[in-house]
Amino acid sequence: MNKYATFQGRIEDARFVTGKGYYATDLKAEGMVHGAVARSQVAHGQITAIDIAAAEDFPGVLAVITSEDLTVDGPTHMPCGPNLPMTNGEPAFQAARPILAVDRVRHVGQAVVFVVAETEAAARDAAALIEIEVDEIDAVTEAIDAQAEGAPVIHPEVPDNIAYVWSRGDHDAAQAAIDAAPRKVSLASHVSRIAVHSMEPRAALAEIVDGRIYLQSCSQSPHAIKGQIAAIFGEEPANVRVKTHDVGGSFGMKIAAYLEDVLCVYAAKKLGRPVKWVSDRSEAALVDDHGRDMRFDGTLAFDDNGALLGLRVHWDINIGAFLQGRSLGGLGNLGGISGPYRIGPTAADAHGCYTNTHTTGPYRGAGRPEATYCIERLMDLAAHDLGVDPFEFRRRNLVPPSAMPWDTGFMFEYDCGEFEANMIQAAKRSDLKGFPARREAAKARGKLRGLGIANPIEVAGGPFTKPGGDHCRITVTEDGGAIIQPGAMSVGQGLETAFSDMVSAKLNIPREKIAYLQGDTDDLPGGRGSGGSSSAPVGGSVLVVTMDKVIEKGRDMASEMLETAPADIEFDAGEYRVVGTDRRVTLPEVARAAAEREETLDGQGHFVPTKVTFPNGCHICEVEIDPETGVLAIERYTVVEDVGRVLNATLLSGQMHGGIAMGVGQTLLERMFYEPGTAQPLTGSFMDYAMPRADMLPDMNFTHREVPTKVNPTGAKGVGEAGSVGALAASMNAVIDALRPLGVTHMEMPCTPERVWAAIQAARP
Distance (Å, rounded) from C-alpha 523 to C-alpha 535?
18
**Among the listed residues 104, 99, 2, the one whose alpha carbon sits nearest the alpha carbon of residue 44:** 104
> From the CB of residue 148, how many other CB atoms can be counted at a distance below 10 Å?
11
Residue 406, beta-bridge partner list: 414
Task: Measure the CA–CA gap between 538 and 462, rounded to whole angstroms.
Answer: 9
Find the DSSP H helices in 635-721. 649-668
CA-based torsion, 378, 148, 324, 220: positive or negative = negative
- Edge to edge, the sheet with strand 482-486 lists 514-516, 482-486, 470-476, 601-607
For residues 341 and 307, the answer to whether their CB atoms sit within 8 Å is no
CB neighbour list of residue 16: distance below 8 Å, 6 or more residues apart: 246
Cis amide leading into 405 (omega within 30): yes
Rounded distance between C-alpha atoms, residue 656 and residue 700, angstroms: 9
Q: How much is the pLDDT for 674?
A: 97
How far is 38 from 44, CA to CA, in rounded Å?
16
- pLDDT number for residue 327: 84
Residue 575: Cβ-neighbour burial (10 angstroms; 0-12, 13-18, 19+): middle
pLDDT per position as a tens digit, 56-87: 999 999 999 999 999 999 999 999 878 899 99
88/443 Cα distance (integer angstroms) = 55
pLDDT value for 724 = 95
Query: Is 319 in contact with 353 (CB distance < 8 Å)?
Result: yes
Non-local CB neighbours of 150 within 8 Å, separated by 6+ positions = none
Q: What gap in Å lies between CA 205 and CA 219, rounded to an integer?
A: 12
Q: Determine the Cα–Cα distance for residues 219 and 256; give it in Å rounded to an integer.
A: 7
pLDDT, residue 3, reads 47
CB 527 within 8 A of CB 573: no
Whether the Cβ atoms of residue 536 and residue 719 lie closer than 8 Å to each other: yes
Torsion angle of the four alpha carbons 722, 724, 730, 735, in this order, in degrees rounded to the nearest 10:
170
Environment class of 221 (CB within 10 Å of its CB; exposed 0-12, middle 13-18, buried 19+)? buried
**411 in the Ramachandran plot: left (φ > 0), alpha (ψ -120 to 50) or beta?**
left
Q: What is the pLDDT of residues 430-489, one digit of tens each?
A: 999 999 999 999 999 999 999 999 999 999 998 888 999 999 999 999 999 999 999 999
Residue 213 host element (H or E): strand 212-217
CB 453 within 8 A of CB 618: yes
Count of C-beta atoms within a 10 Å radius of residue 582: 6
Q: What is the largest CA-CA distance in the chain?
A: 92
| Residue 656 β-bridge partners | none
Phi, psi values for residue 407, rounded to 5°: -90, 115
pLDDT at site 1: 35
Measured between its terminal Cα atoms, the distance across the chain in Å is 56
Mean pLDDT for back-to-back runs of 10 residues, the chain (765 residues): 56 92 94 98 98 98 98 94 90 94 97 98 98 98 97 97 97 98 98 95 97 96 97 97 95 94 98 97 94 97 98 97 87 96 98 97 93 98 97 98 97 97 98 98 98 97 90 96 96 94 96 96 95 92 97 95 94 94 94 94 96 97 98 97 94 94 96 96 94 91 96 94 96 98 96 96 88
Residue pair 697/634 in contact by the 8 Å Cβ criterion: yes
* Neighbouring residues of 317: CB distance < 8 A, sequence distance ≥ 6: 143, 293, 294, 295, 330, 350, 351, 352, 353, 360
Mapping DSSP onto H, E and C, the string for 310-367 reads EEEEEEEEEEECCCCHHHHCCHHHHHHHHCCECCCCEEEEEEEEECCCCCECCCCCCC
376: phi then psi, degrees, rounded to nearest 5? -75, -30
Cα–Cα dist 242/219, whole Å: 9
Determine the Cα–Cα distance for residues 103 and 49; give it in Å rounded to an integer. Answer: 9
Distance separating alpha carbons of residues 546 and 475, to the nearest angstrom: 10
Facing residues of 270 across strands?
none
pLDDT at site 154: 98
> Per DSSP, what are the bridge partners of residue 475?
483, 602
For residue 2, the model assigns a pLDDT of 46
| Contact assessment for residue 542 and residue 607, using Cβ atoms and an 8 Å cutoff | yes
b/e code 277-316 from CB counts within 10 Å (16+ = b) = bbbeeebbbbbbbbbbbbbbebbbbbeeebebbbbbbbbb
Distance from chain centroid for Cα 23 = 20
* Interatomic CA distance for residues 206 and 213, integer angstroms: 7
* CA dist., res. 470 & res. 290, Å (int): 27
Task: Give every strand in the sheet of 575-578, ordered side by side.
Answer: 569-572, 575-578, 584-586
pLDDT in tens, 208-229: 999 999 999 999 999 999 999 9
In whole angstroms, give the CA distance from residue 12 to residue 496.
7
Can you tell me the distance from the alpha carbon of 179 to that of 487, in angstroms, rounded to the nearest whole number? 50
Please answer whether residues 723 and 658 qualify as being in contact, where contact means their C-beta atoms are separated by less than 8 angstroms.
Answer: yes
Long-range pairs for 390-394 at CB < 8 Å and ≥24 separation?
390/453, 390/733, 390/737, 391/423, 391/427, 391/432, 391/453, 393/306, 394/341, 394/423, 394/453, 394/455
Q: What is the DSSP letter of 290?
A: B
The pLDDT of residue 463 is 85
How far is it, in rounded angstroms, from Cα 520 to Cα 222? 7
Q: What is the DSSP string of 72-114?
A: HHS--B-------B-TTSSBPP--PPBSS-SSEE-STT-EEEE
